[in-house]
A and B are shown apart, each in its own frame.
Chain A
Amino acid sequence: MTEIIQKLDANAEPIVSAPFFLRGELVEGNDIVQKSRDLGVTFATPNIPYDKAIPKRTEVPPLLNVPVSEIIDFLVETGQRLVAPDNEYVHECFDRMASTHILPRSVFETVGKHAVAYLDKRILEAEVEQSFRDPGALDGWVPKEDFTGRKSFVRAYAPRLIHVLPGNSPGVAVKSIAQGALVKAVNLFKMSSADPFYTVAILRTMAQIDPEHPIVKSMSAVYWRGGDAAVENVLYRPQYFDKIVAWGGGDAINNVIKYLGPGFQLVSFDPKTSISMVGREALASEEIMEETASRCAADLMMLNQEACAASRYQFVEGPQDLVDKWCAKFQRNIAERAAASGDVRPLSGDLRDEVEALMMMDDEYGTWGKADGKGLVIRSEEPVDFHPINKIGNVVRVDSLDDAVKYVNVATQTIGFYPSERMADYRDRLGAGGAQRVCPLGEAGPSTVGNPWDGMYPLHRFVNWMVNEDGMGE
């Protein structure tokens, strides 16, 4: 819930200020008092200067004719500046974020900095090269001739994008800015209430490198409460933007759907759940149990189980006594990683109730750990009803991994698999169920550079393909 209170009271408690960034210009102001969704902390923002935030369609996008290689160089330099110890914008950002984000500072700061690794020359080049059959279409009009001799030029034209950023991972801001720049887009970023700061910090860092750079002139970052019709009715128009890039499900998407129509399209990064499939080979010895439990804990604890690729359900193949042994090791590994992360959030009331009810039925459900947010494993014969979050693993014992395939559905993103040699036997069936990615156990985090995500090549989906027909070439 975000309450909008006009005319900030001068005598009110100190409120964190969240400035906007508008195509190179920093806009500060405390016109609107907002509230972060997760923690209920108030922060203040300016009113949105619409005309400044939305460039006219009569202007050619600033980045259109800037070579991708130059854009990449600028992004790489941005990355170096972001991790520089003396970057005041980043420090200030993390100071402010500490009061609005659900994760502890050590976690989101590490994630924010780790995300900067994406701003690497080879990574960015690979993203472009793998997303487009001919990356030259980004920089200019690629000539074509069909088999009848008819000539034309095709261009991957710079789109006008609104990015609705998720609040669970500050790293998405880095990636969204980079991808928006790679496709030369005009970009408006809607920051989340959990993190109305990092995007602006990145853009300010860019402005410091070159305040007149076309990348800087292509970026705006503002905040409004998701679903606020007064704002969205203005912004969500095909006259102003081509596509909206949104994350999540439920209200985040429902808020957008009503505005879709000819000329205004949705590119959605759907809400995802990830799982692990652990073959009986994992239970063959104490050493292998320990290793696989550790790998699985690594997959579960991605972003302390806030990431979409974080493992929620672990289908373990074998008899209950051995599976239970594995569960104990799994829980210990989760708890160790949780303790190391410094994240001590308690479970929400509803989640704790669900967990405790299962604990009361201990002849059907094995439980290791407590319902205290410090690492818990529940073993059951079927997936539990609730969504495991805040460091909870739900181990579903199966006689055979074949029995686990039926639990793969359209919400499944990543499947961490052990042993790796068996992945090839399963991936066709996993794809049929709706899964998007299968990887070795313990490797849900890293991914091959340039690969599709959420079932698509995002850059390819962002651009507008434009054709200049050139006749029969007489």
Chain B
Amino acid sequence: MTSALETLLGYAQDPQRFNYTAAELRDLQVQALNERFQDRKDKIRLLRHRAEEAGIEEITSVEDMVPLLFPHTAYKSYPESFLMEEKWDRLTKWLGTVSPYPIEGVDLEGITDIDDWIARLAAKGYYISCSSGTTGKSAMLIASQKDMDWSKIDTVQVFSWGSGVKPEANRYMVGCAPVATVPKNQTIAEAQKAAFSHPELGRWNYPVPPITVGSLTKMVVMRKKMADGTASPQEIADFEATSADRQKVLDDAIELTAQHIIENRDKLLMVSGLWSGLYAVAKAVRDKGYSAKDFNPDNCIYVGGGLKRAQLPADYKEFVHETFNIRPEQDFQNYSMQELNSGMPKCREGNRYHVPPWIVPMILDKEGDALVPYDVNGGEIEGRAAFFDLSLDGRWGGVISGDRISLDYSPCACGNKGPSVRDNIARYADLEGDDKIGCAGTIDAYVRGVA
């Protein structure tokens, strides 16, 4: 007999996978959640702790899952000193508290830096990806080979579904934003290249030095040294100079990419990136006198995420589309996050992000403590987005996000009957001002710069 989990994951191959209503999927999803829970509850220490605290021994409803969801911060809760002092054995041990598989066989001798540590783990099948490393500790998300394999298929499927572009390996791919060099991103890039890129054309990578985890964590380490008072003035001066150099490289990359796109404007293009990068490159292209009329009418675009705090003019989307001659129906956007292993593509008719059967969406109150009342038979609700990605193998699939979303259980205008997310996703952190004043505080208030 096929388990509920296997059934739901099997939908990945189903062209109608977004057409199953939440109501018809619900029982299957609850069973699958329980399968994952029973399998993992004694393997992930943090999960076991949460389950014991909440008194949960079985998942009989989606509500049972709420206290077991992991927020982003669960993956950045390792002590900073492990990074500062390069305690790779301890960092590996911490990683074991959020991993369902014992981390074994990794050679921890002679590790030169965190990138080396990550490479050693990857060599043994433990893939570490990071996010949000610019203002604090990086969240370290562990994934398995199974997750990498799943991601390869999913990334092509969501793009093809949402844009109508078939994986015919006939395009020239142009990256318009820096991409962190982490296993997941590399896996996705390889899969997309194999599916969409013309073998003779390859892919244009945004011309900046690799953004490795090490380069991200350098900032964390510098910030901590400043707070501790152990950073020397020369170290700070060197760091500032490096930051200035880095900014120049980023600025140059925009010009180089714009020029490169112009030189290849006769080709069938697939441009990708985040809105801020795409807009900057598009503006540079316009400034050189080129626009839609110069580009192939069958070009397509791949955008990951929303604005991500970028400040752009109101017409930024139209501006980008009309620069590269992207037809409205070949516009593509995806809603996902580093914590998930699957994407939610935006459809063309309804302009909404569709949730696949193996992702169980949950809308929580702002505090993330309880489900907002909902009806799987229809209706829209708004609140903090939480998901359980049943496809996740190398870590727990339950996540609480920092996003405010509107989820609708009614059919979308495109005809698909599965749940979908409105295109008004916002980060709670961006919605709130700060009126909290207190005299108790920390050394962080005394550290200027190092953003």
Binding site for B on A (CB under 8 A): 1-2, 37-38, 40, 164-169, 172, 192-194, 225-227, 246-253, 269-273, 306-308, 310, 349-350, 353-354, 356-361, 364, 380, 382, 384-385, 387, 389, 406, 409-411, 433-434
Find the B residue at minimum CB distance from A302. B440
Find the B residue at minimum CB distance from A412. B443
A384: chain B residues at CB < 8 Å are 79
Find the A residue at minimum CB distance from B432. A1
B310: chain A residues at CB < 8 Å are none
Among the listed B81, B432, B445, which residue makes an inter-chain contact with A270, where contact means beta carbons less than 8 Å apart? B445
Among the listed A252, A272, A357, A361, which residue makes an inter-chain contact with B437, where contact means beta carbons less than 8 Å apart? A252
Contact of A38 with B436 at beta-carbon distance under 8 Å, contacts A356-B49, A360-B45, A385-B80 already known: yes
Max chain B C-beta neighbours (<10 A), residue from A253, A308, A385: A385
Cα distance A225–B437 when bound, in Å? 11
A249: chain B residues at CB < 8 Å are 441, 444-446
Asked if A409 and B438 make an inter-chain contact with CB atoms under 8 angstroms apart, the answer reads no
Rounded to whole Å, the gap between the CB of B156 and the closest CB of chain A is 34
A306: chain B residues at CB < 8 Å are 438, 440
B109: chain A residues at CB < 8 Å are none
Complex A-B, nearest 5 residue pairs according to Cβ-Cβ distance, in ascending order: A271-B441, A249-B445, A357-B77, A1-B432, A168-B438
A246: chain B residues at CB < 8 Å are 437
Rounded to whole Å, the gap between the CB of A366 and the closest CB of chain B is 14
Contact of A308 with B437 at beta-carbon distance under 8 Å, contacts A357-B94, A357-B97 already known: no
Asked if B79 and A165 make an inter-chain contact with CB atoms under 8 angstroms apart, the answer reads no
**B439 contacts the other chain (Cβ, under 8 Å)?**
yes
Asked if A271 and B80 make an inter-chain contact with CB atoms under 8 angstroms apart, the answer reads no
Q: How many residues of B contact A (CB 8 A)?
A: 40
Asked if B73 and A349 make an inter-chain contact with CB atoms under 8 angstroms apart, the answer reads yes
**B229 contacts the other chain (Cβ, under 8 Å)?**
yes
Asked if B433 and A225 make an inter-chain contact with CB atoms under 8 angstroms apart, the answer reads yes
B137: chain A residues at CB < 8 Å are 385
Max chain A C-beta neighbours (<10 A), residue from B71, B74, B229, B435: B435
B440: chain A residues at CB < 8 Å are 168, 271-273, 306-308, 310, 389
B435: chain A residues at CB < 8 Å are 1-2, 37, 192-193, 225-227
A169: chain B residues at CB < 8 Å are 439
Cα distance A361–B440 when bound, in Å? 29
What are 14 inter-chain pairs, A to B, with CB distance below 8 A? A37-B434, A166-B437, A168-B440, A192-B435, A226-B433, A248-B439, A251-B433, A350-B73, A354-B73, A356-B46, A360-B45, A406-B228, A409-B228, A411-B442
Cα distance A250–B438 when bound, in Å? 10
A360: chain B residues at CB < 8 Å are 45-46, 49, 94, 97
A166: chain B residues at CB < 8 Å are 437-439
**B431 contacts the other chain (Cβ, under 8 Å)?**
yes
B396: chain A residues at CB < 8 Å are none
Find the A residue at minimum CB distance from B78. A357
**B317 contacts the other chain (Cβ, under 8 Å)?**
no
Rounded to whole Å, the gap between the CB of A47 and the closest CB of chain B is 18
Among the listed B49, B228, B438, which residue makes an inter-chain contact with A271, where contact means beta carbons less than 8 Å apart? B438
B166: chain A residues at CB < 8 Å are none
Find the B residue at minimum CB distance from A350. B73
Rounded to whole Å, the gap between the CB of A197 and the closest CB of chain B is 16
**B124 contacts the other chain (Cβ, under 8 Å)?**
no
Among the listed A251, A382, A409, which residue makes an inter-chain contact with B434, where contact means beta carbons less than 8 Å apart? A251
Asked if A271 and B434 make an inter-chain contact with CB atoms under 8 angstroms apart, the answer reads no
Rounded to whole Å, the gap between the CB of B395 and the closest CB of chain A is 14
B431: chain A residues at CB < 8 Å are 1
Contact of A411 with B446 at beta-carbon distance under 8 Å, contacts A225-B435, A361-B97 already known: yes
Asked if B436 and A167 make an inter-chain contact with CB atoms under 8 angstroms apart, the answer reads yes
Q: What number of residue pairs across chains A and B have CB atoms under 8 A from each other?
A: 151
Rounded to whole Å, the gap between the CB of A148 and the closest CB of chain B is 44
Rounded to whole Å, the gap between the CB of A303 and the closest CB of chain B is 9
Give B254-267 as 1s and 0s: 1 = Cβ < 8 Å from A's Cβ atoms.
00000000000000
Cα distance A51–B366 when bound, in Å? 39
B46: chain A residues at CB < 8 Å are 356-357, 360
Find the A residue at minimum CB distance from B70. A353
**B93 contacts the other chain (Cβ, under 8 Å)?**
yes
Rounded to whole Å, the gap between the CB of A165 and the closest CB of chain B is 7
Asked if A248 and B441 make an inter-chain contact with CB atoms under 8 angstroms apart, the answer reads yes
A1: chain B residues at CB < 8 Å are 431-435
Asked if A167 and B438 make an inter-chain contact with CB atoms under 8 angstroms apart, the answer reads yes
Cα distance A269–B445 when bound, in Å? 12
Rounded to whole Å, the gap between the CB of B100 and the closest CB of chain A is 14
**B191 contacts the other chain (Cβ, under 8 Å)?**
no
**B90 contacts the other chain (Cβ, under 8 Å)?**
yes
A354: chain B residues at CB < 8 Å are 73, 77
Find the A residue at minimum CB distance from B369. A349
B78: chain A residues at CB < 8 Å are 357
- Among B68-93, those with CB < 8 Å from A are 71, 73-74, 77-81, 90, 93
**B227 contacts the other chain (Cβ, under 8 Å)?**
yes
Asked if A353 and B73 make an inter-chain contact with CB atoms under 8 angstroms apart, the answer reads yes
**B398 contacts the other chain (Cβ, under 8 Å)?**
no
Rounded to whole Å, the gap between the CB of B449 and the closest CB of chain A is 13
Find the B residue at minimum CB distance from A192. B437
Asked if B441 and A308 make an inter-chain contact with CB atoms under 8 angstroms apart, the answer reads yes
A389: chain B residues at CB < 8 Å are 440
Cα distance A251–B441 when bound, in Å? 12
**B368 contacts the other chain (Cβ, under 8 Å)?**
yes
Asked if B90 and A164 make an inter-chain contact with CB atoms under 8 angstroms apart, the answer reads no
Among the listed B367, B438, B446, which residue makes an inter-chain contact with A248, where contact means beta carbons less than 8 Å apart? B438
Asked if A2 and B433 make an inter-chain contact with CB atoms under 8 angstroms apart, the answer reads yes
Asked if B439 and A308 make an inter-chain contact with CB atoms under 8 angstroms apart, the answer reads yes
Cα distance A234–B79 when bound, in Å? 45
Give B279-318 as 1s and 0s: 1 = Cβ < 8 Å from A's Cβ atoms.
0000000000000000000000000000000000000000
B93: chain A residues at CB < 8 Å are 361
Rounded to whole Å, the gap between the CB of B55 and the closest CB of chain A is 14
B97: chain A residues at CB < 8 Å are 357, 360-361
